[in-house]
């Protein structure tokens, strides 16, 4: 998605695992940038793209090897600032007349400290908070001789040319990765670089919204788009954005498998249909899903049944929408893994959304993915920009198979009803105590056992449940949330008093790994 109205920065990708973090740092500075694989960047591309600055990413290759990736020579005569990072630094040195050697004993991986030299450059303005600065290194080869015109501005024990620059030509080269978290002050280098390049920081979410709307209009034309609306942040923001672009040409299908939380279907459909005027089909297929799940207790079987039915149902409703040629998906940037293959062209692997994976090919649909360039928190900012309420934008993730995987063993309607009530009380407690936003995900799982209790003067024999609450940044690893004993006690009392059918409450203190967040 190109925007000609904004100053553009070009990131030439040499295959680093962290190239997308460079884009991320630049967006935080309100700078418009695009990542393009090195083998698609030629002279014609550079002329059309007309970057105001260029960054060479890191990469896994060695510049010493024959046929290793290079940018076109013409990039050096564009007259714009260039920043080379790690492999990008080495390729720049090699091409401009310096020398790179294989690292015999000079390889450096992990934390290192760079100390400044006596010379000063604006790239480092305000960067050294101390007499040395922590950086993250990850290199096997090293620069043995810098190119003519370059000076040294920073060194580390294993990288005498950690920071170099040819200030006259505005070429900068660093051996480390300023974009990663372990270079704590790295964002400052990017800030200085884009400032030197003359970017004004005019790339805001408002600008993104306008440009995305125009791009959707252009892609879709007068055709129709369908979207599986789950009520999650990504599909909701994608739907709202596409609706702004093409209005009635978008139809959303909300597949209700009967495994949703209390009032969830009404809230999602109500908001999109009544408040935002989207065309939403509420596909209430509770009977179908719960019927097929009857008697099933194996977690994988349950997941497979739900996944297959979801696709069947979505397809059935979508077939009734005339002229639908596009399928909208809330794919985010981290889902788009771009890798560079050195034998041929770039290969792009897309992690399909679990719910609609395989659908586009099966139905002959073209994808519309307006969030492909954004990170999660940027999607949230865009959602706010589009007027979605904060309560929606800050929602915890909710899995596609819904309450099915929070009801270990056989699923019954009675258990689902109890679970919905207990979950509502638990979430209410978390909100009342102001903890909702600190927690990545919180829910109740109803256990497949009944236990004995005593209430009033009578014996009870009801279900036990487990509370789960975790902190996480990406759901890949997680730790349990350290609630106070007061909170846990109060919540247990409320659940047992307010939810008939539960007489015992436990708290799950397993981290991930070894546990998973969900119970199945």
Stretch that binds ligand XMP, among 177-185, 196-204, 291-299, 509-517 (CB under 6 A): 509-517
- Assigned token pair, 317: 């409703």
Measuring CA to CA, which residue among 444, 470, 429, 453 is closest to residue 504? 453
Asked if 231 touches ligand XMP (CB under 6 A), the answer is: no
Residue pair 24/375 in contact by the 8 Å Cβ criterion:
yes
477 binds ligand XMP (CB under 6 A): no
Tell me if 291 contacts ligand XMP by CB under 6 A: no
Comparing CB distances to ligand XMP, the nearer of 111 and 308 is: 308
User: Which position among 37, 401, 408, 501 is part of the footprint of ligand XMP (CB under 6 A)?
Assistant: 401
The answer to whether 349 contacts ligand XMP (rule: CB under 6 A) is: no
Q: C-alpha angle 85/86/92, rounded to 5°? A: 70
Residue closer to ligand XMP by CB (options 63, 259) is 259
Q: What share of the chain is helix, strand, coil (3-state, %, to 5)?
A: 35, 25, 40
Are 462 and 484 spatial neighbours (Cβ–Cβ below 8 Å)? Answer: no
Contact with ligand XMP (CB under 6 A) among 475, 494, 507, 511 = 475
Shortest distance in whole angstroms from residue 238 CB to ligand XMP: 15
Binding segment for ligand XMP among 53-61, 310-318, 378-386, 395-403 (CB under 6 A)? 395-403
Query: Of 29-37, 220-228, 450-458, 510-518, which part binds ligand XMP (CB under 6 A)?
Result: 510-518
Alpha helices in 42-155 (DSSP H): 43-49, 87-95
**Does residue 186 belong to the site contacting ligand XMP (CB under 6 A)?**
no
Q: Which of 69, 116, 400, 408 binds ligand XMP (CB under 6 A)?
A: 400
Stretch that binds ligand XMP, among 123-131, 277-285, 290-298, 392-400 (CB under 6 A): 392-400
Which value, to the nearest 10 degrees, does the dihedral of the CA atoms of residues 221, 226, 229, 234 take? -40
Q: How far is the CB of 196 from ligand XMP (least distance, A)?
A: 41
The answer to whether 517 contacts ligand XMP (rule: CB under 6 A) is: yes
Q: Which is nearer to ligand XMP, 98 or 231 (CB)?
A: 231
Q: CA-CA distance, 255 to 269, in Å (whole number)?
A: 11
Smallest gap from Cβ 477 to ligand XMP, in A, equals 9
Element (H, E) at 319: helix 299-319
Looking at the Cβ atoms of 22 and 332, the one nearer to ligand XMP is 332
CA dihedral of residues 32, 246, 221, 51 (deg, nearest 10): 0
CB 225 within 8 A of CB 250: yes
Tokens (6 digits) for 191: 């800030």
Task: Confirm or reject binding of residue 391 to ligand XMP (CB under 6 A).
Answer: no
Tokens encoding 51: 């970057």
Nearest distance, CB of residue 388 and ligand XMP, angstroms: 19
- By annotation, the residues acting in catalysis are 86, 177, 179
Q: Which of 354, 362, 432, 459 binds ligand XMP (CB under 6 A)?
A: 354
Does 512 sit near ligand XMP (CB under 6 A)? yes
| Beta carbon of residue 17, minimum distance to ligand XMP (angstroms, whole number) | 21
Asked if 405 and 303 touch (Cβ cutoff 8 Å), the reply is yes
Site pattern 299..338 for ligand XMP (x: CB under 6 A): ----------------------------------------
d(CA 30, CA 25): 9
Please tell me whether residue 497 binds ligand XMP under the rule CB under 6 A: no
Closest CA to 283 of 229, 233, 331, 328: 229
Q: State the SS3 of 149-176.
A: CCEEEEEECCEEEEEEEECCCCEEEECC
Minimal distance in Å, beta carbon 66 to ligand XMP? Answer: 43
Quick one: 124 or 228, whose CB is closer to ligand XMP? 228
Nearest 10 degrees: CA dihedral of 428, 434, 437, 439? Answer: -70
> In the complex, which residues of this chain contact ligand XMP (CB under 6 A)?
354, 397, 399-401, 441, 475, 512, 516-518
């Amino acid at each position: 998605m190109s925007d000609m109205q904004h100053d553009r920065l070009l990131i030439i990708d040499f295959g680093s695992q962290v190239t997308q973090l460079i884009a991320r740092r630049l967006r935080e500075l309100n700078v418009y940038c695009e990542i393009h694989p090195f083998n698609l960047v030629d002279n014609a591309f550079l002329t059309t793209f007309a970057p105001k600055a260029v960054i060479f990413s890191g990469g896994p290759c060695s510049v010493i090897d024959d046929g290793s990736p290079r940018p076109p020579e013409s990039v050096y005569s564009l007259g714009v600032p260039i920043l080379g990072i790690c492999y990008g630094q080495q390729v720049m040195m090699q091409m401009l007349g310096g020398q790179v050697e294989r690292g015999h004993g000079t390889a450096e991986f992990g934390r290192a400290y760079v100390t400044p030299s006596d010379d000063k450059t604006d790239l480092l303005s305000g960067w050294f908070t101390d007499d040395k600065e922590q950086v993250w290194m990850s290199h096997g080869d090293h620069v043995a001789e810098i190119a003519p015109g370059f000076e040294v501005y920073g060194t580390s024990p294993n990288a005498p040319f950690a920071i170099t620059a040819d200030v006259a030509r505005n070429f900068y080269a660093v051996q480390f990765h300023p974009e990663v978290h372990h270079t704590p002050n790295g964002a400052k280098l990017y800030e200085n670089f884009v400032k030197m390049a003359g970017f004004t920081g005019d790339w805001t979410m408002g600008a993104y919204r306008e440009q995305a709307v125009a791009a959707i209009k252009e892609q879709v034309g007068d055709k129709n788009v369908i979207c599986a609306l789950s009520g999650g942040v990504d599909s909701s923001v994608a739907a709202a954005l596409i609706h702004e672009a093409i209005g009635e040409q978008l139809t959303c299908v909300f597949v209700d498998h009967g495994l949703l939380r209390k009032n969830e279907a009404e809230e999602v459909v109500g908001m999109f249909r009544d408040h935002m005027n989207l065309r939403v089909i509420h596909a209430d297929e509770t009977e179908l899903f719960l019927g097929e799940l009857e008697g099933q207790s194996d977690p994988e079987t349950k997941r497979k049944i739900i996944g297959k039915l979801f696709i069947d149902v979505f397809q059935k409703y979508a077939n009734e929408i005339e002229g639908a040629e596009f399928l909208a998906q809330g794919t985010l940037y981290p889902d788009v893994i771009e890798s560079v293959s050195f034998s041929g062209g770039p290969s792009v692997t897309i992690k399909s959304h679990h719910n609609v994976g395989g659908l586009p090919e099966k139905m002959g649909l073209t994808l519309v993915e307006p969030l492909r360039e954004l990170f999660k928190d940027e999607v949230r900012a865009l959602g706010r920009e589009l007027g979605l309420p904060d309560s929606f934008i800050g929602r915890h993730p909710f899995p596609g198979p819904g309450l099915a995987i929070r009801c270990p063993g056989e699923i019954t309607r009675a258990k689902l009803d109890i679970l919905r009530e207990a979950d509502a009380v638990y979430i209410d407690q978390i909100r009342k105590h102001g903890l909702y936003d600190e927690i990545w995900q919180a829910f109740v799982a109803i256990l497949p056992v009944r236990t004995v209790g005593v209430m009033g003067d009578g014996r009870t024999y009801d279900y036990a449940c487990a509370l789960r609450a975790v902190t996480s940044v990406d759901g890949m690893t997680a730790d349990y949330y350290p609630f106070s004993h007061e909170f846990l006690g109060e919540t247990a009392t409320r659940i047992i008093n307010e939810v008939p059918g539960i007489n015992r409450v436990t708290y799950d203190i397993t981290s991930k790994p070894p546990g998973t967040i969900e119970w199945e």
